[in-house]
Structure 1
Amino acid sequence: MSLIINALCINCDVCEPACPNRAISQGETIYVIDPARCTECVGHYDEPQCVVVCPVECIDPDPAFPESHDALLAKLARLQEQDA
C-alpha cells in the first residue's frame, strides 16, 4: 500500500531526502507522495523511512492504493529498471 501525507504536515523537509524511491515532493501546500513510486521502502528498509523521520506523524497508509508485499517488491523492480 502506498503512503499518503495528511494535513498535519508542517513542511519540515525531512521526508523528501529520506525516500529511496524519490516518491516524495513538495505539493501545493504540503508534501505529497507519488503512489506510483512509493514502495513503503520495501526492498530498501524494514520500515518506511518517511514515517521514521516524520516529527509530527502525518504519514498514513493510503487506502486508495492497497498493495501486497510482493506487489511492492515488483513495483520496486520496475522502478529500478526505469531508473537504470
Structure 2
Amino acid sequence: MATRLHIDWTRCDGHGSCAELLPELLTVDDFGFPAVRTGDRDPLVPDRLEEAALHAVRNCPLMALRLYDAS
C-alpha cells in the first residue's frame, strides 16, 4: 500500500518534532517549520519508513500530520 504524509499548515506551529522523528523525509526551514526533502507537497512514505511516519503523526503536538492511502 502506498502511503503519503500530509501536513496541515493551518495547524502546524513549527515545533519541528516531525523533522526530528522523520529526518529521511522532513527537515525544518529557517523558522522551524517542516520542509519536505523531496519538494513534494505530500511525500510518498517508503515502506521502510511507515512506522517512523506513524510515530511522527502520533507525536505531533498539534495533530498537524496525517497519513493517507495514495492509491
TM-score grouping bracket, smaller chain normalisation: 0.5 to 0.7
Q: Which consecutive unaligned segments of at least 5 residues does structure 1 have?
A: 68-84
Structure 1 outlier segments of 4+, above 6 Å: none
Give the fraction of aligned pairs with identical amino acids, expressed as a percent. 13
Aligned residues: 61
Tell whether the 8 Å contact from 2:57 to 2:65 is kept in structure 1 after alignment: yes
Tell whether the 8 Å contact from 1:25 to 1:32 is kept in structure 2 after alignment: yes
Is structure 2 residue 57 aligned with structure 1 residue 55? no
Q: After TM superposition, give the deviation of residue 26 of structure 1 in Å.
A: 2.4
Is structure 2 residue 12 aligned with structure 1 residue 9? yes
Any idea what the Cα deviations from partners look like across 1:6-57, whole Å, max 9, x if unmatched?
A: 11101001111111x6101225873134415x23733xx3861211210110
Give the TM-score, by structure 2 length: 0.60
Q: After TM superposition, give the deviation of residue 61 of structure 1 in Å.
A: 3.0
Larger Rg: 1
Give the TM-score, by structure 1 length: 0.52
SS at 1:17 equivalent? helix
